[in-house]
Structure 1
Amino acid sequence: MRKPSLSSHWEWFFRQQGDVSSTGQVLCTVTSTIFTTVMSGEHPPSSYVKEPALTFSLRYYNISTVPYSVMTGVPGLLVSTYRHLVGFEPIPSGESVSSLVLDIGKENIKEYMNNIVVGAEFNTSKTRDIVVVNAMYGSTVHHAAPLSLNLINNALVKYLMASDEYSITTTNHPLPDLQLPDLSSTTDIRTTIYWSLLVPLGLFFFLGFVIAFPLEEKVNKMKQLQIMAGVSPFYYWLICFLVDYFIYLLASVLMVVSIYVCDTLNIYKQSVELGVFFLMIVLYGLSGIPYAYIFTYFKKSATDGFCHYIFSSVLIGVTILYCSFVYKLLGWMKYLLWFLPHICLSRGLNMFSAQVVKNIRCRQLKDDKTFVCTLDPSHLCCKSNFDDSSSKRHFAYLDFPHENNENGIGLEVLFLALNSVLYVVIIMLAEYGVIHKIRKFFRKSQLSNIKCDREMDEDVVKEQIRVKKHIHGDHAACHGVTRANSSGPSSTSGGYCSSQETQKQGTNHDIFLVDKLVKMYQSFVAVNGISFGVKPGECFGLLGVNGAGKTTTFRMLTGDEVPSDGDAVVQRYGLRKHTRKYLSHLGYCPQSDPLNEKLTGQEMLQLVAHLRGIPRQSVQKEVTKWINLLGLSEYESSLSGTFSGGNKRKLSTAMALIGDPPIVFLDEPTSGVDPVSRRNLWEVLARIQSTGQSIVLTSHSMEECEALCNRVAIMVNGQFMCMGGNQYLKRKFGQGFTLMVKLGCIETAKELMELKDTIKMTFRPNCELKDEHKGMLHYRLLNPHIPWKVLFTSMEHLKNTTLAIEDYSISETSLEQVFLAFAKSQKD
């Protein structure tokens, strides 16, 4: 259990160093929650607050007439007073005000609706001793009723007081806005938009940052180094999740606190509402963080992964949610969206916020509920059997949706919980190769149809046969030894010999074997059935231009990529059957530097030493040894992120060599290293070879391959074109000498042809023109037995007798020239 705990410690260290990033994540979610709470709880200010007091008067209206009738016996002073107030004469005696108004409405409904504001009827009783006045008003005009009543009252006052000095003024003063939590002014649509858009958006950004750390480790191969050192994929992802989820829980608690503090209207801060909200956020973290980890399998950089995650989350989680017509068009496929955590979160918060508003409205009815339900039995607060004396809500939050509670979020909560298990299972299936095995099962026919692009070299074929015979022969030998020497169960596993049995078979036994390794991407074959073996203390070079398949081969052999077919064996452990034990025997320096830039060079080596199982008391000694050997003493206390490119490569190489693994994979270890340090590294690698450690090397430096490699394989289009020692390949494919002629003064094509014929006649019959550039001729002299004296004498004679040759050079065929000859057949 020590290795996972150390990895956990390192993860914590990184998080502490990168606290600015974590603080930004938390602030993003809290800010979105505060903004949502404030905006959704804020209802529009009353329209009365800013309006002035209004004194009722006819001058504010566009009046075409004031119809009023007067019966016989009504005091004339009363009538004249009213006439003076309204400015119109009464209608003719005997006519009805109502009939007149209806006639106007028939002729011009607009005038009827807008221009007839007030009217009156001045009547007397049968005994003519009582005057009855009816105030009439237009029902479609604002304030018409109080205005008509005020006119009648003013006419009566002036009549009774017999003076125009007296009057009654009626003024409408708007009531002040008391800022009560009246949600009748808060629309459901606006509230649900805030909660289902802003809060998820903050959480989307939080989880987008979660991708950064594991994706960066995947790209720079630090994750793979940890797994090769013995950290299981399950523990690796568990550590990542625990750290990320701890920060997420901290953000969740702060979100709840921010709602409690900012909800001044007491809408969302009730214990039940806060509990349901916290439950949803917690469950979203359990499912959303593993879902975000899925993106690390498809992207090549933290920025790329972050952008794609945010884009997909917003597009699917928000756009589809609000484009209801799109949601309906999906038909049965819309149920698949429930397996996306952000869909569950957005829908859940949407319905949660609507449910909160409904419950608050029902709670505000209090004693008026019976009255409201009597008037409107279909009112939303009358649909449930709600006991006002209990603490229960009208509409339960965690219910599954049904007729009387369509906004229950039970389904969203259930799927959030299920998704948390689903995405963990998917990650584990991917990490342990199950998904690849399923894909391979459906692609068997493609694998069986793979063919070589060209005929293989005889040495490559011999190596394939040797490897195959070696694996199957060792399988039988191990079982034979087991049967003869053990009385109990066999101690071997998978048919491969133990390290002790390997030593008994001699030093020529291969420590590492690769058998017909294949990698396919769709229909493209990146690596096509390569086989080779590596003996103890041997350095095997893998050469090829970019795109030839070298890096893909390294990624498969180091467990970073699952082979489509074939296998590899180190000692008795196979890549397919005993992956963890196989990887524990390897050291690996990838092409990209697997460094945590927040750790010093010394801390990086200490970390790898601990992971490789070096005893704690020996760690510092081992670290110091490799720091001194690779010339890193001056920089050991500096952050690895500040190292130069060359020093990063040296540190990465030291991480591969520490712990003395039996075989080391070095992918361009001296790229960017200065010449002095390069020579020093070559000496270190030669020294470890002498102790029995084996090396598999890729490099673009032919000088490096000639200095270090015992055998070399040249790879073209995913296949080995040739294989053997440096001198062997130069003899076999070089076959003689290389003659480079620099052309001098040549005026016509005829002169050039004559020169070519002269050179060919001088060194016939084994002289052929390999290449021709502007001003340069490249010849290959196929007879390796021509004396150097003859070569130089002949060329000096030609140079002195013609002006067409400015200079020349003669050399043995180099490994680089052999490489370039094969590289020309590489497909783009």
Structure 2
Amino acid sequence: MNRTIYWLTNFFWDMMNYIICASLCFLIFLAFNEKAFVSATNGPCLALLLLLYGWAMIPFMYPFSYVFKESSMAYVLLGCLNIFLGIISTVSTYILELFPEEPELTEISVKLKKAFLILPHYCLGRGLMDMSVQHLRKDLLENLGSTYDYNPFEMEIVGKNFVALFVQGSVFFFLVIMIEHNFFIRWKATAKPKDLPEMDNDVLAEEEAVTSGSRPNDVLATKSLTKLFKKSRAVNGLNFGVPAGQCFGLLGVNGAGKTTTFRMLTGIMNASGGDAFMMGHSITKEPIKVQQYLGYCPQFDAIDPLLTVMEHLEYYAKLRGVPRTHASAVAQKKVRKMGLTRYKNKRAGDLSGGNKRKLQAAIALIGNPPIIFMDEPTTGMDPKARRFLWESIMKITKEGHAVVLTSHSMEECEVLCNRLAIMVNGTFRCLGTPQHLKSKYGEGYHVTIRLTRDTTSEIACVISAMETEFQTSATLLESSLLMAQYHISVAVPVADIFSSLENIRTGCQVEDYSVTQTSLDHVFIRFAKQQTDGLATVDSTSSDDQLMTPPSRSNSRVNLII
């Protein structure tokens, strides 16, 4: 949806609600026959003052929506702020007027009355006060046998408040539109790039292919995409492309930059540097056009608990430009596709966690966008629902859609992703098919040794024995008082591994051991250990980085547990 239209419709709806409240306030004045406000002279003035107050006050509150994340907190703080500003600004000028013999206070009062005209609260409060003062003056003079006529619309009475309120409403709304279009954001990312280890050859090849334009069929291409937060880089120069009909996976621990990347690609967050192109359109120069080509399933459900499943889908179908006459049919199709037929008339707030994720995925598919982003789509799903969604995603890719997803499930990535990349500190450390990554980084065997007693001497015995038996062919990955994990080079025959482990089992207090093929989980964990808090740099000579160097020899692998 166009951002200007979004705010215009919000303002129209809020103004309609405000007019109802303002009308009730006017009726209360009439019911109590407050002549100071509802007389033939002041009644029209009060009605216009209340109307213009809503015109100014509603857009005055809109910029604060960028400050607060919780509506309850915003309601309390802004309510207190409005009361404070309204009372202080109005009462302070009134009190200063009580000392006309003090020229300095009078001068301050005149200046404050001009300065406070930028506040809708003051314009309303002072306008009501001036109307009341003029009416009391008229009553007093008439009781003394004199006449006094006045026009509350004059500039010296309430007229200046009307002009100020009209200008405020226009300026505040224009300010919101400029904020929405990032008019005030002109800074550049100046933080130095993180000192990351040398990039993988596959990552460099992908960067070369994307930047050189040798893959024109990519429906999504990012070029040096960067996001800067204060002094750290959450995303550090990503380069990758996704063609139609492919599922691309982004893996990484929390804080690696996956969700930030999604938020930039979907237009929710602005990139600090670089660019990305969807169907040939730039996310920085044509964000509205880009959003027409994508569907987004966020990490956390963005649904209205009071709307039913069908109401959600029909609503988003209309937003996508589906004619009203066809919106119901489109919604019915997505309901059947995602297995939500039984729940189509059920409110979203009453759905289970898995069905909420199905609904969120169905919303992302509305309009058949060529590019679909799914941020941990199977979170909270039971195994049956997860399998169902996997099948749905595979059907989507077969239909020619490009899917980009994040997940913490290695099984999910192996099932769905044609290619995947592991992110560490906002950049790619490896990229390729799941089997390619396992073959390149997972050569050898993973040995886990469990001890019978949790003593330092026993774990020292195992470590010493492993060094004796395997020498440089075994690398310690992790150790505790009850367990030690090793990576064994593929150069060591399987029979020798078992023979050596049996010798260690005899010489040390070993309860059991297991020998497995290095899996995608192990590859991911090794890379994940290099993740920092976003401020520290990564030591390129760490042992974990050495483990990432692909072995030069290959052999058959086993998956045995003793």
Instruction: Using structure 2 for the length normalisation, give the TM-score.
Output: 0.86
1:397 paired to 2:152: yes
Q: Show the 5 A alignment for 1:415-430.
A: 415-430=164-179
1:467 paired to 2:172: no
Inter-CA distance 451–254: structure 2 relative to 1 (3 Å threshold): same
Shift of 1:680: 0.8
Deviations 1:241-277 (A, max 9, x none): 212211211222222121111126x443212211111
Equivalent residue for 1:273? 42
Greater Cα shift, 516-525 or 663-672: 516-525
Unmatched 5+ stretches in structure 1: 1-230, 370-387, 402-407, 475-501, 503-508
Task: Give the 3-state SS of the residue equivalent to 1:422 in structure 2.
Answer: helix
Between the aligned partners of 2:120 and 2:237, the Cα distance in structure 1 is 42
Equivalent residue for 1:385? none
Instruction: Using structure 1 for the length normalisation, give the TM-score.
Output: 0.59
1:530 paired to 2:238: yes
* 8 Å Cα contact 1:593/1:649 also seen in 2: yes
1:804 paired to 2:559: no
1:293 paired to 2:62: yes
Shift of 1:409: 2.5
1:454 paired to 2:454: no
Match of 2:31 among 230, 243, 261: 261
Structure 2 counterpart of 1:422, one-letter code: V
Equivalent residue for 2:290? 582
Task: Give the 3-state SS of the residue equivalent to 2:42 in structure 1.
Answer: helix
Q: Which has the larger radius of gyration?
A: 1
* 8 Å Cα contact 2:309/2:348 also seen in 1: yes
Inter-CA distance 267–422: structure 2 relative to 1 (3 Å threshold): closer
Inter-CA distance 651–329: structure 2 relative to 1 (3 Å threshold): farther
Match of 1:778 among 467, 477, 485: 485
Match of 1:521 among 229, 242, 252: 229
Equivalent residue for 1:686? 394
* 8 Å Cα contact 1:267/1:360 also seen in 2: no
Inter-CA distance 308–523: structure 2 relative to 1 (3 Å threshold): farther
Structure 1 counterpart of 2:477, one-letter code: K
Q: Show the 5 A alignment for 1:63-78.
A: none
1:767 paired to 2:474: yes
Structure 2 counterpart of 1:742, one-letter code: R
Inter-CA distance 280–677: structure 2 relative to 1 (3 Å threshold): same
Q: Show the 5 A alignment for 1:213-292.
A: 231-263=1-33, 266-292=35-61
Shift of 1:729: 2.5
Equivalent residue for 1:794? 500
Between the aligned partners of 2:450 and 2:111, the Cα distance in structure 1 is 75
Structure 1 counterpart of 2:169, one-letter code: S
Shift of 1:696: 0.8
Between the aligned partners of 2:114 and 2:252, the Cα distance in structure 1 is 50
* 8 Å Cα contact 2:194/2:233 also seen in 1: no
Task: Give the 3-state SS of the residue equivalent to 2:490 in structure 1.
Answer: coil
Deviations 1:683-711 (A, max 9, x none): 11011111211111112222212221222
Equivalent residue for 2:540? none
Task: Give the 3-state SS of the residue equivalent to 2:472 in structure 1.
Answer: coil
* 8 Å Cα contact 1:737/1:784 also seen in 2: yes
Unmatched 5+ stretches in structure 2: 97-104, 534-562
Match of 2:363 among 655, 658, 682: 655
Inter-CA distance 792–414: structure 2 relative to 1 (3 Å threshold): same
Structure 2 counterpart of 1:260, one-letter code: L
* 8 Å Cα contact 2:461/2:508 also seen in 1: no
Shift of 1:548: 2.3
Q: Show the 5 A alignment for 1:125-524.
A: 231-263=1-33, 266-323=35-92, 337-365=116-144, 367=145, 369=146, 388=147, 394-401=149-156, 408-435=157-184, 439-440=185-186, 443-444=187-188, 447-458=189-200, 459-470=202-213, 509-524=217-232
Task: Give the 3-state SS of the residue equivalent to 2:155 in structure 1.
Answer: coil
Inter-CA distance 518–350: structure 2 relative to 1 (3 Å threshold): farther
Between the aligned partners of 1:260 and 1:425, the Cα distance in structure 2 is 35
Equivalent residue for 1:821? 526
Between the aligned partners of 1:628 and 1:792, the Cα distance in structure 2 is 53
* 8 Å Cα contact 2:296/2:372 also seen in 1: yes
Between the aligned partners of 1:588 and 1:357, the Cα distance in structure 2 is 62
Between the aligned partners of 2:441 and 2:392, the Cα distance in structure 1 is 31
Task: Give the 3-state SS of the residue equivalent to 2:322 in structure 1.
Answer: coil
Between the aligned partners of 2:111 and 2:244, the Cα distance in structure 1 is 61
Between the aligned partners of 1:259 and 1:354, the Cα distance in structure 2 is 17
Between the aligned partners of 2:4 and 2:429, the Cα distance in structure 1 is 40
**Number of equivalenced pairs:** 522
* 8 Å Cα contact 2:303/2:360 also seen in 1: yes
Shift of 1:517: 1.4
Shift of 1:334: 8.2
Task: Give the 3-state SS of the residue equivalent to 1:310 in structure 2.
Answer: helix
* 8 Å Cα contact 1:519/1:564 also seen in 2: yes
Q: Show the 5 A alignment for 1:548-697.
A: 548-616=256-324, 618-697=326-405
Deviations 1:418-471 (A, max 9, x none): 011101111211222323xxx32xx23xx255323323413333322221111x
* 8 Å Cα contact 2:38/2:46 also seen in 1: no
* 8 Å Cα contact 1:664/1:695 also seen in 2: yes
Between the aligned partners of 1:683 and 1:524, the Cα distance in structure 2 is 39
Shift of 1:675: 0.8
Q: What is the RMSD computed on CA atoms of the aligned residues? A: 2.6
